[in-house]
Amino acid sequence: MVNFLYIFASSIILFEYSLHVSFNNMFNDFEKFSYTPVENGAVYLAGFLIAAYFSTTYFFLNRLTNIDQLVTYKKYLILLVLNFNAFSTLIFIFRITGYSRLLYFAYLISSPFLLLFLIFVYKKSTLLNNFLGILFMAGIIFPLISSSSNNSEIEYSGNDCKIFSESEINNSNIFDSFFVVGHAYGSPDGDNIGLSPNLINYLDKINLERKKFLILTGDFSRKNDIDDLTATKNQIEKYFNQYYVIPGNHEAMFNNNYYEVFPTDFFKFQLSDSLLIGGNFNNSDWLPSIYQQNQINKAISESASKTVILFSHQLFWLNLFSEEVAPNSDALLNKLDDKPLDWLQTDDKKLIIISGDHGAWGDELFCRSKDSVTFIANGLGNTSSDTILEVFYTPEGLIFNKVRINSG
């Protein structure tokens, strides 16, 4: 009981203080069995399963080897291994993402000490029941406090992002709109050819008459062979007369098939008061080649636009946000630049960066502002949380909107 309550309470606190933890994959797994946990209950369910797994393995190991009779450092090592095994197994099985790795490892190192102390107190004092009650309540109360704090922080970050429309858009003011989609082939575990089934289903359902064009920010071809790339191109052209694509690691690795089907890995054009630029970031530092850096900066310097929207596949700015966001993979990466924006010469123009290597594992759309630059990471994983960007072209400029593509 001591083990179970401690692991249950501490795991809940760990997940709640990881501000961007995502249980979307857990939801997707349970939905396959026609059961969806309530969103606020996911952290408790995860904590319960981790505690149950830990307590069960501890019980059987204690039956085989009397842990209580071991010297302290051996007890510590056993608890450390069991705790690591319980957390890692459940995180792997349910593909929980976005938890703080720093908190996780700090917890793993310190947790056995506290657990040994609790076991010692349990044997020496009848007051432990009261202590366990307090600990158990901490597992309930701390998340509520943390959740309240997290919500306000996330809301602030959302407001700080300042590009997404918070009110209903007046259709009479819309000239056109277009979509931005990252990781468009969908789930890494799938076998579809071309675009994600979720995306195809969504495009089949909506009226595309006023959708001017499509931008794909890489990883839209699973296999990167000519047949897959051609099928993807045919799917795109079925729905859009105009489109822009840039390669991701899936299109850039192993061969040059991408260039056999799509003529370029760079685009730039003016829309409203914004300059839109997309480039090839498939290098070992996740930055464009020097040639493309010069192309991008030349386009910016020659434009009178007040806003620059830069499209990439890789989250080349990842170092700026530490553990707040994770890419789908670190393919091609050797070392990130410590100052990933220094090569950009924006001339004090507003800069929005939209990167597509995200969302494959069910991660929610990421949006933060830092030093007057807005960073967005968004892509598909063929999950219930799949979200694309819809951008409206209005007399007032561009208006951004998030669209959950498989809702209803």
Mean of per-residue pLDDT scores for the chain: 80
Residue ranges matching CATH 3.60.21.10 in the chain: 167-404
How far is residue 78's CA from residue 65's CA, in Å, rounded to a whole number?
11
The predicted-structure confidence for 168-200, as pLDDT tens digits, reads as follows: 566 656 777 899 999 999 999 899 999 999 999
pLDDT higher than threshold 70 for residue 124:
no
How far is residue 133's CA from residue 131's CA, in Å, rounded to a whole number?
5
By three-state DSSP, how is residue 72 classified? helix
The predicted-structure confidence for 66-105, as pLDDT tens digits, reads as follows: 766 666 667 777 777 877 887 788 777 776 765 666 777 7
pLDDT of residue 384: 85
pLDDT of residue 358: 95
User: What is the pTM for the complete model shown?
Assistant: 0.66
Q: Following DSSP, what letter does each residue of 274-340 receive, concatenated?
A: EEEEE----STTSS--HHHHHHHHHHHHH---SEEEEEESS-TTGGGGTTS---S--TT-S---SST
What is the percent of the chain with per-residue pLDDT over 70, rounded to a whole number? Answer: 72
How sure is the predictor about 165, in pLDDT bands with cuts at 50, 70 and 90?
low
pLDDT of residue 24: 59
> What is the number of other CB atoms lying within 10 angstroms of the CB of residue 201?
11
Cα 24 to Cα 19, 222, 295, 385, distances in angstroms:
14, 22, 39, 7
Helix (H) / strand (E) element for 82: namely: helix 72-94
The predicted-structure confidence for 337-348, as pLDDT tens digits, reads as follows: 989 999 999 988
More confident residue, 367 or 151: 367
By three-state DSSP, how is residue 244 classified? strand
How far is residue 308's CA from residue 352's CA, in Å, rounded to a whole number?
6
Q: Which of 171, 151, 170, 177 is nearest to 403 (CA)?
A: 177
pLDDT of residue 181: 97
The token duo for 187 is 């789930």
- Class of the CATH domain delimited by 167-404: alpha beta
How far is residue 111's CA from residue 88's CA, in Å, rounded to a whole number?
15
Residue/partner pairs of 319-324 with CB below 8 Å, 24 or more apart: 320/370, 320/375, 321/368, 321/370, 321/375, 323/18, 323/20, 323/100, 323/101, 323/102, 324/19, 324/20, 324/366, 324/368
pLDDT of residue 406: 78
How far is residue 109's CA from residue 243's CA, in Å, rounded to a whole number?
51
Find tokens 């995860």 and name the residue: 46
The predicted-structure confidence for 289-298, as pLDDT tens digits, reads as follows: 999 999 999 9
